Amino acid sequence: MIQTATAENATAQRLFEKLKGVAVGTSGPYTWERCVELAPLVDEINRLKHEKNAVILTHYYVHPEITVGVGDFVGDSYKLAKDAKSTNASIIVFAAVKFMAETAKCLNPDKEVLVPSKQNGCSLADAITAERVRELRREFPEHTFVCYINTSAAVKAVCDVCVTSSNVYDIVQRIPSDKIYFLPDKLMGENVQDEMKRRGVQKDVQIFSATCYVHQQYDPERVLRLRGKYPGLKVLSHPECSPDVIRHADHVASTKGMMQYLRDTDAEAYLLLTECGLAGRAQVEMPGKTFIGPCVECRYMKSNAMQDILRVLRAPDEDDRIVLSDDVREGALRCINAMFHYAEMSG
Ligand code: 13P
Ligand code: SF4
């Protein structure tokens, strides 16, 4: 009993050390009392991970207590797909959104992949079905179908190549076809069209009509207002933002790319035009830096809670498990492997 109390205290201290300066959206501010409250959950999850040979993959957008307390890996969707590919664990708990967990399952058919999030959607992934893609393929028979990773495995299974925000421009450029159909993100698709022009690449890029409800909320007026208020501000944007917003950014990158830019630069303040969990993670890793601006949260990413991670590790329900038919898994894997092939090509 005394030993447990001491261990919990050490965990609370470890959490508080990392989280004490963090206060974004519904995450934080983290008080000492909150860290003491989280400590037994964190200890039990870490014990169960060890006992069951499980790993926890976490996206930057989830609550920082999860990435700091129990996450084994944190990253953007490309890094997490690679982490899922290389793990030796028997169980993968994916604290993010369902399409990322499905990708992990495609790469690990024999492992148990569990999702603790209560709201499993994504406004991009939910906007298109495999049936709709089949119709589009009949309409655009000569086009190579490129899908953003923010799609279901069923949609990937009927596309040719998958991309993430970290490799979309290079992959579209490298695909040996001058006719591309990009889905489902309209704004990212428009950014692809602009970037191909900028690179002098001649391709007909057709695009679907969905948007991310988080990233579409940013507008150029707000960026200009904040630039006026904070001289020396560096503006970082995710490629899911509109081209009008991206034109005002100092740097455009995936969440992992934005983190790297923050580490590599020294500015008076930063504005991160993405889901505000990234600012939380940046505060954890770079407590000396200043992050300003609006905090838009993704309800899907934020539906991951520590209690649910514990629950799925202890006794998962059927709904917590990723199950894919062989057809869908094999089709989606072909599309995901095509991404690894083009992403790892040099030049
Ligand atoms: P990243 O791959 O850049 O982390 O993006 C994932 C995502 O869902 C952005 O909204
Ligand atoms: Fe989907 Fe947007 Fe949430 Fe990313 S931020 S998971 S694209 S809804």
Judge whether 335 lies within some domain. Answer: no
Identity of the residue numbered 32: W
Judge whether 278 lies within some domain. Answer: yes
Q: What is the mean pLDDT of the chain?
A: 95
Radius of gyration (Cα) for the chain, nearest Å? 20
Do residues 190 and 269 share a domain?
no
Judge whether 91 lies within some domain. Answer: yes
- Mean pLDDT calculated for residue range 262-276: 97
From CA 212, how far away is CA 123, in angstroms rounded?
A: 5
Do residues 101 and 198 share a domain?
no
Q: Determine whether the shortest distance from the Cβ of 212 to ligand 2 is under 6 A.
A: yes
Condensed to tens digits (0 to 9), the pLDDT of residues 36-93 reads 999 999 999 999 999 999 999 999 999 999 999 999 999 999 999 999 999 999 999 9
Last residue of a domain, one of 211, 237, 261: 211
Judge whether 117 lies within some domain. Answer: yes
| pTM summary value | 0.95
Testing ligand 2's pocket by substitution, the residue of 58, 150, 215, 276 carrying the most ligand atoms inside 8 A of its CB is: 150
Q: Determine whether the shortest distance from the Cβ of 91 to ligand 2 is under 6 A.
A: no
Do residues 161 and 230 share a domain?
no
Check if the beta carbon of residue 306 is closer than 8 Å to that of residue 327.
no
Condensed to tens digits (0 to 9), the pLDDT of residues 179-211 reads 999 999 999 999 999 999 999 999 999 999 999
Show the tokens assigned to 274.
């993405």
Using the mean position of ligand 1's atoms as its centre, give its distance from the Cα of residue 257 in Å.
11
Do residues 226 and 254 share a domain?
yes
Domain that holds residue 23: 5-122+302-320
From CA 272, how far away is CA 295, in angstroms rounded?
A: 9
Residue whose Cα lies nearest atom 2 of ligand 2: it is 212
Condensed to tens digits (0 to 9), the pLDDT of residues 90-105 reads 999 999 999 999 999 9
Do residues 12 and 94 share a domain?
yes
**Ligand 1 pocket by Cβ (under 6 Å):** 76-77, 150, 164-165, 212, 238, 240, 254-255, 275
- Mean pLDDT calculated for residue range 228-238: 96
Q: How confident is the model at residue 5 (pLDDT cuts 50, 70, 90)?
A: low
- Mean pLDDT calculated for residue range 136-152: 98
Q: What is the pLDDT of residue 4?
A: 64
Res 2 pLDDT > 60? no
User: What CATH number does the domain containing 262 carry?
Assistant: 3.40.50.10800
